[in-house]
Structure 1
């Protein structure tokens, strides 16, 4: 790796991380915070001296966070992987610009089953026929979800209504005070990237809602749509057959819910469906792989994961491997 010259430090800056599927975005931020709080790249000597000998503790609570500003420019669901923009120091003030920027995603839709969260992390709500859905039918439906469209966010989301997150209404069976407000979003491009058919390893969630939970969800959903139905209409004689799956690629504006696009598209083709994989490949100028001038490549999470266990040896200039990687991709603010 070529040497990177930083005029003076400590610095404030932005860099992208490739989040893996599984951990929350906040846990990623908290782990990175422990590293940057021990680095002369980001900490002034006086504060760095106080950190000397203080071990990294990944099980610490919120009261154990280090005294350095850090944040992220747009949360990814635990199931999702891909680009997560990190801001350190003064750069945290720049993070808002990534909430409304253009984003690119690849997502896999699994047909035949609707879940409460619209993704594979949730519980089954209802089953629906899927054999009739063809590649041509999906492709013919995509234009309905391209351009400036109206979208209702999932009821299982952190959006608040009268101070309460929507997911609390759903879980407790509380009818919504009013319908969830539609939002206008822009889908610049939407394409069928790959038709998997039944050649995949995905399956519907094992978790199912109890009768009481279904009634609670139905009460809450009555504030979303009229004539709510969450009754199963399973595909006949298809118990041993894998349901159809396909991969979409989309470029969207900030505020777009990919889960809602998959949910609504599945309804539009006469079925039900949910997200089983979700990758953010672009967030503004931060990308998995640069394709345009000005694109900034992200750092694999494994670089930080390795440093959390052992920061490793320093080079002749006193930098560790993770620090060199960050300097290579850092946008100084």
Structure 2
């Protein structure tokens, strides 16, 4: 800790000022960027009584520093220094680590820690951003996708592998974020490099059949320029590791089975309708031997609905009522998955790649970061974003308690590290002293042995016999 920070810490203790510098978590809502959440915190903190002494202290320090400079400048009112330990997409919710003042120096540690996410994967549609906020690039069939197929495909994403980040990401190329190339429809200077990632835990929490959930695919279709740009980056054939012969065989069997079922469904849609003697007849009898096949759902001649219901045979009515709704009309299936991953992992990429792995497409419909380091949703060290709008009497005691807990843990960690270093020091000195004593003893023994050998040799006796006799 620098001299400036030490003096500020001592001053706070003398004045009995509450400490507001440290690290805490905030539960980010959907629809807001990480930067916007921090700006909201900064504004609320700046206008509060809790941070007033801290801001006065900061301004006094700025005035002292300005007084010692040759060219003095006008000192502006300081703002609360705040940063985050890992961004979250606007779509995502959950843990956002925030650091205040000297706490920002500890944020780097949270970029390297493991994180736990829960995501909803929606199959059948692929977008340029790999989530439901992007523009649609592709539509793919989903009738063949089953819960067992998805669970088996998840095996490909456990452990260590190389992941291709999405085009819409915060990664930079030649100093420019990738998403800016995408928004400006400009080609990227070079291929996006894969990054080593690790998935420590991955499981399916819930399987949602078509029609059992409210997740809908986006409808905003991408233009030609966006599709052409995506083709340069989005190469599905190279996203996943090579498939095994067994998985290729299963995929082929699923495709053939799907074709057979589609053919059977089309045959079932053909029904026989009796031929009419007059073109104005709206309903024909089923016993007409000259009946012609007609596609179910075809529009009949305009007649009253009650008349049609009265004249249609009972069997036909039953078949229409019993006809199951097609999977396509029910919407795509979805799955809720939970994963614990290392730094630099993109959940959107996993959702996209999972769709490719099951012979379809997929996007991320929901995302929640439930844990980052020692901060978890619902814990005492995580502030709810909604508390900021409930007044200082609500959020201030909670934040003060969180900062105090962070300080206590930091001091305990430093004390433990100091105790370990202190306990190791005497051991090293003792070991070093024993080594010196051993070397001295060996040197004296060697010197005595050489002297004895010379004496024995001068007397004409064999040194080996003398040592044997001594033994």
Q: TM-score, normalised by structure 1?
A: 0.80
- Does 2:45 align with 1:33? no
Is 1:15–1:85's contact at 8 Å kept on the other side of the alignment?
yes
- Does 2:133 align with 1:121? yes
Gap change, CA 1:183 and 1:305, over 3 Å in 2: same
- Does 2:376 align with 1:287? yes
Gap change, CA 1:143 and 1:91, over 3 Å in 2: same
Aligned counterpart for 1:270 among listed residues 351, 359, 376: 359
- Does 2:119 align with 1:107? yes
| Cross-structure match for 1:314 | none
After superposition, where does 1:213-224 map in structure 2 within 5 Å? 213-218=226-231, 220-221=232-233
Is 2:20–2:54's contact at 8 Å kept on the other side of the alignment?
no
| Cross-structure match for 1:207 | 220
Q: 1:32 & 1:183 partners in 2: Cα distance?
A: 33
| Cross-structure match for 1:316 | none
Q: Once the two structures are superposed, what CA deviation does each residue of 1:19-46 show, in whole Å capped at 9, x if it has no partner?
A: 1111111111011112222345444266
Q: Once the two structures are superposed, what CA deviation does each residue of 1:86-109 show, in whole Å capped at 9, x if it has no partner?
A: 111100111111111110000000
Is 1:130–1:244's contact at 8 Å kept on the other side of the alignment?
yes
| Displacement after TM superposition at 1:238 (Å) | 5.4
Return 258-267 or 32-41, whichever deviates more: 32-41
| Cross-structure match for 1:47 | 56
| Cross-structure match for 1:300 | 384
Is 1:9–1:40's contact at 8 Å kept on the other side of the alignment?
no
| Cross-structure match for 2:428 | none
Is 2:118–2:369's contact at 8 Å kept on the other side of the alignment?
yes
- Does 2:348 align with 1:259? yes
Q: Once the two structures are superposed, what CA deviation does each residue of 1:188-237 show, in whole Å capped at 9, x if it has no partner?
A: 0000110011211111112111234323433x427x67799xxxxxx987
**Gapped regions of structure 1 (runs ≥ 5):** 1-5, 51-63, 229-234, 291-295, 312-319
Q: 1:325 & 1:73 partners in 2: Cα distance?
A: 20
After superposition, where does 1:97-176 map in structure 2 within 5 Å? 97-176=109-188
| Displacement after TM superposition at 1:18 (Å) | 0.6
Q: 1:257 & 1:49 partners in 2: Cα distance?
A: 38
Gap change, CA 1:92 and 1:83, over 3 Å in 2: same
| Displacement after TM superposition at 1:256 (Å) | 0.4
Structure with the higher helix share, 1 or 2 = 2
After superposition, where does 1:6-25 map in structure 2 within 5 Å? 8-25=17-34
Gap change, CA 1:196 and 1:238, over 3 Å in 2: closer
Answer with 1 or 2: which has the greater Rg: 2
Instruction: Report the secondary structure of 1:249's partner residue.
Output: strand
| Displacement after TM superposition at 1:163 (Å) | 1.8
Q: 1:13 & 1:49 partners in 2: Cα distance?
A: 15
Q: Once the two structures are superposed, what CA deviation does each residue of 1:297-322 show, in whole Å capped at 9, x if it has no partner?
A: 41211111323xxx4xxxxxxxx221
How many residues were matched structurally?
291
Aligned counterpart for 1:74 among listed residues 86, 97, 115: 86
Gap change, CA 1:226 and 1:272, over 3 Å in 2: closer
Aligned counterpart for 1:328 among listed residues 401, 405, 410: 401
Q: 2:148 & 2:77 partners in 1: Cα distance?
A: 51
Instruction: Report the secondary structure of 1:246's partner residue.
Output: strand
| Displacement after TM superposition at 1:139 (Å) | 0.8
Q: TM-score, normalised by structure 2?
A: 0.57
Q: Once the two structures are superposed, what CA deviation does each residue of 1:59-91 show, in whole Å capped at 9, x if it has no partner?
A: xxxxx9952210111111000000111111100
Q: 1:169 & 1:226 partners in 2: Cα distance?
A: 23
Q: 1:122 & 1:160 partners in 2: Cα distance?
A: 20
Is 1:179–1:225's contact at 8 Å kept on the other side of the alignment?
no
After superposition, where does 1:73-92 map in structure 2 within 5 Å? 73-92=85-104
Q: 2:51 & 2:27 partners in 1: Cα distance?
A: 21
Q: 2:83 & 2:114 partners in 1: Cα distance?
A: 19
| Displacement after TM superposition at 1:178 (Å) | 2.2
| Cross-structure match for 1:248 | 337
RMSD: 2.7
